Structure 1
Amino acid sequence: MRWQVLNAVAATLLTSTTTASYVHDQGLPVEKTVTLADGQVIDWIKREIQGEIAKPPASLNHGTAFKKLDIDPFNSTTRGPAGTVPIPRSDGRLPKTKVPPPHNVNRLAARQYANQHWYSSSSQSANSHGSSAALSMFKAYVANSNDFSLLQTAVAHLDVPNVGIQTVEAGWINYPAQVASPHLFTFYTTNAYQSYGDGVSGWNTEYRGWVQYDGAYYPGMELAPLSASEGPMTTTDMGSGHFASEGYGKAAYIRNILITGTDDNDSDYDGSQGVVVSDANRYTIDTHFKSGSTWGSYFFLGGPGAGGVIGG
């Protein structure tokens, strides 16, 4: 299974549907419904009604101490009953298509992404169960609400017979048309990004596929606080608008990148499949794999986009 770490700045196409979430589409019982301060509507459902729940993996041995995410979107009024999990509603506004992550540097040319998606990315081929990393977080400027900017990791199974590519992806996205604020996201596809559907492909909890286990953190939740250029960094980030060469304090980063092998042991990511930068005038990447430092395998990435002006 090929594992990739990606960042993309892109997008103009989107579609709007009337779906709220699969909870309402399929008439699942809701234990409590609340509206958060940012206007997001949350349905609390019993964890077990989602179907079979896999046992969560043990905490990974990163070799680096990570501080627990100091974010709790709920209070005594908005928190659900014991044994329930949050499922956010949405207006169904999604990118019309999600572009497959670049996975073969020899076959990818920058011109393929003209007027589409722009990447700074790296990849490694490995037999694995998954991956982990720490991402920096900025509220990346987007030119209009239909554009989005994201920082993500992805596990991709390539060349699936009669399908092509299958992925599981997660990270941080600023896409105002989907959720007003920068937020945590997940995405998966079993059909090479051809269409959305239950058990087929989808963002967050728009369709069945993601099983919500945690009672506080969920795909679609707003992430804060954010990093600021030349300010203190948080552990979950996105592009600041600065080029990778500007380094810590300005550029976005992904650090402590690990691959969990099929033997359930972690190893440092090596980026051996190469890097892809679709337009170095827009975005760049500066890699430091197996650095031997407390950051392990890491890279800086980002840039201001076509205009060359940060925040505009």
Structure 2
Amino acid sequence: MSFQSQITLTFVCTMFLFAHMLESAPVNKTTFNHLKQVRLHLNKINKPSVKTIQSPDGDMIDCVVSHLQPAFDHPKLRGQRPLEPPLERPQGYNSSDEMSQLWAESNEFCPEGTVPIRRISEDDVLRASSVRRFGRKIRGVRHDTMSGGHEHAVAFVNGDQYYGAKASMNVWTPKVTDPYEFSLSQLWVISGSFGNDLNTIEAGWQVSPELYGDVYPRFFTYWTTDAYQATGCYNLLCSGFVQTNNKIAIGAAISPRSSYNGKQFDIGIMIWKDPKHGHWWLQLGSGVLIGYWPSFLFSHLQQHASMVQFGGEIVNSQSRGYHTNTQMGSGHFAGEGFGKAAYFRNLQVVDWDNNLLPLSNLHLLADHPNCYDIKAGKNNVWGNYIYYGGPGRNAGCQ
């Protein structure tokens, strides 16, 4: 065989092997078309900024002109501007730390007329199961049965008409052992049945490696009007929540956090329905307004809530074939009490006349009390309170 023929044969064999490798290679998630989808989505949700602040944890916080934030992509808000704060707010017990965040530790904030928005990266979206599901929960509200691997330890009231809720909760850094699990503590304002018409408004703190790419506890919000199917999202990841505050970034890391047998740090959250316009407002601490969910986003919540919940939630993926080690709250059971267990204190609801009231007829629910449990109490300083949480997998939780 001539030298030329040997070269030709080698080339043909090489190309044949290369073609075979391409045919047998698994399809990579980050294909060209998928990356194109991701970048189109990023262009939609990352708005032009007038200033960018880099956080010590690596977050980029964009200062976006308030009427150009994602909410105003909604057809019913296009061309409008954020509303002025409501003149009357529910009055009641106030005693909680003002929340501070890592990105603002330098005391550099966004200018007036802008809102701070955590910039979403390609990696953030690529961690999601799909571009369409990015920023969305799977079904996970506690009712009669667990769903989707979600487990809860919650206190709730129902059987009345509720126009809001308020509580203070301490912030921890629970261990999340699987990248597709999360651990959160929040309050839920709920209406509708627990079928496909479920409406919820949610706010609190969460550790979610899938959503944020790290294990910091972060301030978050959520809403849905169809039981987490096609509507709603976390934070500002879709057109929905209208932010009005220029010093708090939804989705940004909270600092400081509580420590076991050490100093406790808590944040106060209130969600209530403005009697004049019907929108649901979010307030932190003793009076820091964050923004509102327009009433038109909802069906049942255009009227009032029928249930309010306070407590913790985790996802148990059982990816190793047994119950997750993901912690809820502090990672310790409710019985350990102050300084060791996670708590909610001064639990209150808002009535039809915009008054904050203590709870009556409080119910407790723990899906797996050997994994995560809950206890309630009442005193003159904390009013209604709960301790909740746990370590996940242990001798009694397999």
Task: State the TM-score bracket (shorter-chain normalisation).
Answer: 0.7 to 0.9
Q: Quick check: 1:303 aligned with 2:365?
A: no
Equivalent in the alignment of 2:178: 144
Residue in structure 2 matching 1:240, options 322, 326, 330: 330
Secondary structure of 1:25's match? helix
User: How far has the Cα of 1:172 moved from its partner?
Assistant: 0.7
Residue in structure 2 matching 1:205, options 225, 236, 254: 236
RMSD after superposition: 3.0
- CA shift in 2, pair 1:19/1:84, >3 Å: farther
Is the CA contact (8 Å cut-off) linking 1:287 and 1:299 kept in structure 2?
yes
- CA shift in 2, pair 1:35/1:177, >3 Å: same
User: How far has the Cα of 1:78 moved from its partner?
Assistant: 5.4
Equivalent in the alignment of 1:184: 219
85-94 or 135-144: bigger deviation: 85-94
Listed one character per residue, the Cα deviations across residues 10-59 of structure 1 (whole Å, up to 9, x for unaligned) are xxxxxx99658988306854322333221112221122334442343556
Q: Quick check: 1:47 aligned with 2:105?
A: no
Q: Which has the larger radius of gyration?
A: 2
Equivalent in the alignment of 2:253: 222
Q: Quick check: 1:38 aligned with 2:40?
A: no
Is the CA contact (8 Å cut-off) linking 1:131 and 1:260 kept in structure 2?
yes
**Mind listing any 5+ residue stretches in structure 1 that lack a counterpart?**
1-15
Is the CA contact (8 Å cut-off) linking 2:176 and 2:182 kept in structure 1?
yes
Q: Quick check: 1:173 aligned with 2:206?
A: yes
Listed one character per residue, the Cα deviations across residues 230-285 of structure 1 (whole Å, up to 9, x for unaligned) are 1111113971111111111111001111111221111012354x222111110000
User: How far has the Cα of 1:216 moved from its partner?
Assistant: 1.1
User: How far has the Cα of 1:215 moved from its partner?
Assistant: 0.8
Is the CA contact (8 Å cut-off) linking 1:62 and 1:256 kept in structure 2?
no
TM-score (norm 1): 0.79
Listed one character per residue, the Cα deviations across residues 121-177 of structure 1 (whole Å, up to 9, x for unaligned) are 1211232221111011110011122221111101011239x9420100011101122
Q: What code does the residue aligned with 1:24 have? A: N
Residue in structure 2 matching 1:275, options 364, 382, 389: 364
- CA shift in 2, pair 1:20/1:300, >3 Å: farther
Flag the structure with more relative contact order, 1 or 2, with Cα contacts below 8 A and sequence separation at least 6: 1
Paired with 1:80 and 1:68, the residues of 2 have a C-alpha distance of 18
Please state which structure has a larger fraction of its residues in helix. Answer: 2
Equivalent in the alignment of 2:294: none
**Mind listing any 5+ residue stretches in structure 2 that lack a counterpart?**
1-33, 73-79, 129-133, 269-327
Q: What code does the residue aligned with 1:304 have? A: P
Equivalent in the alignment of 2:162: 128
- CA shift in 2, pair 1:229/1:239, >3 Å: same
TM-score (norm 2): 0.63
Aligned length: 279
Equivalent in the alignment of 2:307: none
Q: Quick check: 1:84 aligned with 2:114?
A: yes
- CA shift in 2, pair 1:165/1:26, >3 Å: same
Secondary structure of 2:260's match? coil
Q: What code does the residue aligned with 2:172 have? A: F
